[in-house]
Amino acid sequence: MKKKILIMISRYSPGHKEGGPIRSMINLTNEFSSSYDFYILTHDRDHGDISPYENIIVNTWNKFGDVQIYYANYKNFHSKLIKELAQQMDIIYLCGPYYHYTRATLWLKFFNQIKQPIVIASMGSFSKGALSLKRYKKLIYIGLTRFLGFYKNIYWSVSSLFERNDLVSIFKDKNTKIFIAEDLPRKYLPQITSRKKHKNTLHIIFLSRISRIKNLDFVIDIVSKLKGDIKFSIYGYIEDQKYWGSCLNKLVSIPHNINWSIHGEVSTEDVLQTFESADVFLFPTMSENYGHVIYESLAAATVPVISDQTPWQDLDTYQCGAVIPLHQMDMFVKKCQEFVDMDEETFQTWSVNAYDYAIKKYKKSKEESGYPIIFEDII
């Protein structure tokens, strides 16, 4: 009999506004549904929406493919429901340490109301970039819950050694039980299409949530310094309106050689197609525990130019992208200008390399996934 795994996540398909975590769990369930029975407990609407998703039944199980999804409304997503569902499962997997469902589940576990093993996916929450936002509030919460012993019998899931070190630096406990399970890339890969890029031109894309940690204002500063015929496309859900306002102030004074446009949200099903229209993905993010959007850029043969605050550290080695120290704007400008000046034949090599890298990454991630180790060893 297959093990039953309850995944709690703030948003799940068809939601898309919270980006990477949703993609991570979709990829996980797609890949391993033949080996495990997955049950998803999530909210009944996307981030910021006032109405539930269409074509779902709220506060009960909905079967989509091989996965059962419980879309709970805010009034019903509480400790009583969590306890009821958890008692029917073999493992509880919590996406993120700060959400209300994580706090409720830890509380129930602490008072022995849940006996099943619990895994918390840190989801990049302890990186320097993530902790720079609401730092003291987060550290006080972690310190208090540690002091009370809420993590005594809890397991952690991280996506890289990079992320494991961040977690250890916060908890400072050699007995912390940590599993490394790299996020799985998207299963589907499109057929590569050739890029029609000419010298002195470049189509740059930014595709991510509009929030401070994704660093769109820094992207605008970089693009503003480029020479040539530049097309600059911005896609993403506006999570922080105040921050978006500061970005708009920069956009209105951008040089005339840059043709910029704003396109709003992109559903998870349309991400690859959106990337295929661009040459370079410019993403000086402050922190990514995995960075699905980077993989999807590569899979669409769009060359990523990213910060050094992600696990994707070897793109330069394979000449399929560029990894640049976060605060070195001059290096970002220099690399992007190289792509502007590049002829079609040379750029095509970079583009093909990006696609090839994505294929190899997918195969390796599937073969070496740490998720089965988590699910088998804990039981």
Token pair for 252? 């209105």
In this prediction, residue 151 carries a pLDDT of: 84
Spatial contact of 230 and 340, defined as CB atoms under 8 Å apart: yes
- 3-class DSSP state of 36: strand
Q: Which has more pLDDT, 65 or 207?
A: 207
Label residue 366 by pLDDT band (50, 70, 90). confident
For range 99-119, the mean pLDDT:
93
Indicate the residue type of 313.
Q
Q: Quick one: pLDDT at residue 94?
A: 95
C-beta of residue 215 within 8 angstroms of C-beta of residue 309: no
- The answer to whether 253 and 283 have CB atoms below 8 angstroms apart is no
What is the average per-residue pLDDT within 12-24?
81
Angle between helices 79-86 and 100-110 (to 10 degrees): 60
State residue 193's pLDDT score.
61
Q: What is the mean pLDDT of residues 84-96?
A: 94
Judged against a pLDDT cut of 80, whether residue 342 lies above it is answered with yes
Q: Please write the tens of the pLDDT for every residue from 301-319.
A: 999 999 999 989 999 999 9
What integer pLDDT is reported at residue 82 of this predicted model? 95
235, 263 Cβ separation under 8 angstroms: yes
Residue 122, pLDDT score? 87
Mean pLDDT of 117-123: 91
> For 43-67, what is the mean pLDDT?
90
Task: Give dist(CA 217, CA 213) in Å, integer.
Answer: 10
Buried b (16+ CB within 10 A) or exposed e, 135-168: eeebeeebeebbeeebbeebbbbbbbebbbebbb
Average pLDDT over residues 211-229: 97
Same fold, 3-183+366-378 and 201-363: yes
> pLDDT at position 192, please?
64
Q: What is the second-level CATH architecture of the domain 201-363?
A: 3-Layer(aba) Sandwich (3.40)
pLDDT at 184: 79
With 0.85 as the threshold, say if the pTM is over it: no
Boundaries of every domain in the chain = 3-183+366-378, 201-363
| pLDDT number for residue 162 | 78
Q: Quick check: 18 pLDDT over 80? A: no
CATH homologous superfamily of 3-183+366-378 equals Glycogen Phosphorylase B; (3.40.50.2000)
At 298 the pLDDT is: 94
269: CB partners within 8 A, 6+ apart: none
Least confident segment among 204-218, 263-277, 318-332: 263-277
pLDDT score for 204:
98
On the 0-12 / 13-18 / 19+ scale of CB atoms within 10 A, 218 is: buried
Tokens of 22: 């949703």
> According to the model, what pLDDT value does residue 188 have?
60
**The pLDDT value given to residue 379:** 67
